[in-house]
């Protein structure tokens, strides 16, 4: 009888140990680190502050938002020279690898740029480039194929709805070295020289048959109003590369850090077709 009681106790103890081990395993799983979070690229100086890129990913590690953050003082003491202005190349963190974007080219234009009747105010250009630096550096008017690549616009289905080459000179003349051909929303009836009140706008870019960048252009004066703005991004009908692409564009101010935040969000996986 005693032997049976000992055996029974041994079985109960073993079962208890097994249960405790299972609970411990469950506990370790519940405290496992999440893949979600916001990750930052390296900071670079601008004005009296800094700017850096970021990407936000969900618990599965899928990107949901990319953007950049400018500290409050980044808008102070900006260069006022009469040249081409300040240009920064901003890398994304590794977690942005699944997105359509390679880097951000940020330009500060102290006196605006052409066409001046539209975009002559001091402003930032934020090129969210979808091509690598080698491609950007190859957009050089000294290259023999420069004009041909500029004129080779993507098929309409690969461009955001309504985006077209602005009226005027051919694409090879309008192309900007180191950037490419800039396209505007042809349905935007406000783009009239002399009456257009430039605060912010989204431009698209192309080069050598590819859709190459999404470019928010934002005036310094508008940023200083601490805006909160969100708008949908017009979408292409098809995509040349499988990646996560944005569906919304937001400009805001972080209440805690007072950073200016420019984001392309609602990232959605699109398959090349």
**Residue 35, pLDDT score:** 82
Spatial contact of 244 and 46, defined as CB atoms under 8 Å apart: no
**Residue 214, pLDDT score:** 98
Say if residue 61 is in the same domain as residue 25: no
Domain that holds residue 98: 37-270
Say if residue 134 is in the same domain as residue 256: yes
- Report the b/e string of 123-140 with b at 16+ CB within 10 A: bbbbbbbbbeeebbebbe
**Residue 102, pLDDT score:** 98
Say if residue 16 is in the same domain as residue 62: no
Q: In degrees rounded to 5, what are phi and psi of residue 110?
A: -60, -30
Say if residue 130 is in the same domain as residue 84: yes
**Residue 158, pLDDT score:** 98
**Residue 86, pLDDT score:** 79
Say if residue 76 is in the same domain as residue 154: yes
Say if residue 100 is in the same domain as residue 79: yes
Q: Report the C-alpha gap between 156 and 211 in whole angstroms.
A: 10
Q: Report the C-alpha gap between 236 and 238 in whole angstroms.
A: 5
Structure tokens given for 173: 């003349």
Say if residue 83 is in the same domain as residue 191: yes
Print pLDDT tens along the chain (273 aa). 444 444 444 444 444 444 444 334 444 444 455 689 999 999 999 999 999 999 999 999 999 999 999 999 999 999 987 565 679 999 999 999 999 999 999 999 999 999 999 999 999 999 999 999 999 999 999 999 999 999 999 999 999 999 999 999 999 999 999 999 999 999 999 999 999 999 999 999 999 999 999 999 999 999 999 999 999 999 999 999 999 999 999 999 999 999 999 999 999 999 999
Say if residue 28 is in the same domain as residue 75: no
Spatial contact of 190 and 199, defined as CB atoms under 8 Å apart: no
Say if residue 50 is in the same domain as residue 130: yes
Residue with tokens 């999404």: 214
Structure tokens given for 88: 């920064």
Say if residue 15 is in the same domain as residue 110: no
For 41, residues 6+ apart whose C-beta sits below 8 A from its C-beta are 52, 53, 54, 90, 91, 92, 93
Q: Report the C-alpha gap between 176 and 87 in whole angstroms.
A: 14
Q: Report the C-alpha gap between 180 and 159 in whole angstroms.
A: 14
Say if residue 260 is in the same domain as residue 177: yes
**Residue 251, pLDDT score:** 98
Domains identified in the chain, total number: 2
Say if residue 12 is in the same domain as residue 103: no
Q: Report the C-alpha gap between 181 and 215 in whole angstroms.
A: 12
For 272, residues 6+ apart whose C-beta sits below 8 A from its C-beta are 239, 240, 241, 242
Structure tokens given for 262: 């420019």
């Amino acid at each position: 009888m005693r032997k049976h009681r000992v055996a029974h106790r041994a079985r109960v103890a073993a079962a208890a140990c097994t249960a405790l081990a299972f609970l411990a395993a469950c506990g370790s799983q519940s405290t496992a680190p999440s893949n979600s979070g916001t990750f930052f690229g390296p900071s670079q100086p601008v004005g009296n502050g800094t700017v850096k890129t970021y990407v936000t990913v969900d618990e599965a590690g899928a990107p949901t938002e990319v953007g950049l953050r400018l500290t409050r003082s980044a808008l102070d003491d900006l260069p006022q020279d009469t040249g081409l202005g300040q240009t920064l190349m901003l890398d994304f963190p590794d977690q942005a690898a699944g997105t359509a974007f390679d880097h951000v080219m940020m330009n500060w234009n102290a006196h605006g740029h052409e066409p001046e009747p539209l975009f002559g105010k001091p402003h930032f250009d934020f090129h969210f480039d979808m091509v690598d630096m080698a491609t950007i550096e190859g957009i050089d008017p000294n290259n023999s194929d420069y004009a041909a690549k500029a004129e080779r616009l993507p098929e309409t289905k690969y461009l955001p709805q309504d985006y077209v080459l602005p009226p005027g000179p051919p694409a090879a003349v309008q192309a900007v070295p180191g950037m490419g051909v800039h396209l505007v929303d042809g349905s935007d009836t406000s783009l009239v020289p002399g009456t257009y009140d430039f605060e912010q706008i989204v431009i698209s870019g192309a080069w050598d048959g590819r859709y190459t960048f999404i470019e928010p252009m934002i005036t310094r004066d508008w940023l200083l109003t601490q805006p909160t703005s969100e708008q949908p991004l017009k979408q292409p009908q098809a995509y040349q590369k499988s990646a996560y692409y944005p569906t919304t564009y937001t400009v805001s101010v972080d209440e805690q850090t007072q950073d200016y935040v420019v984001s392309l969000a609602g990232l959605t996986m699109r398959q090349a077709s």
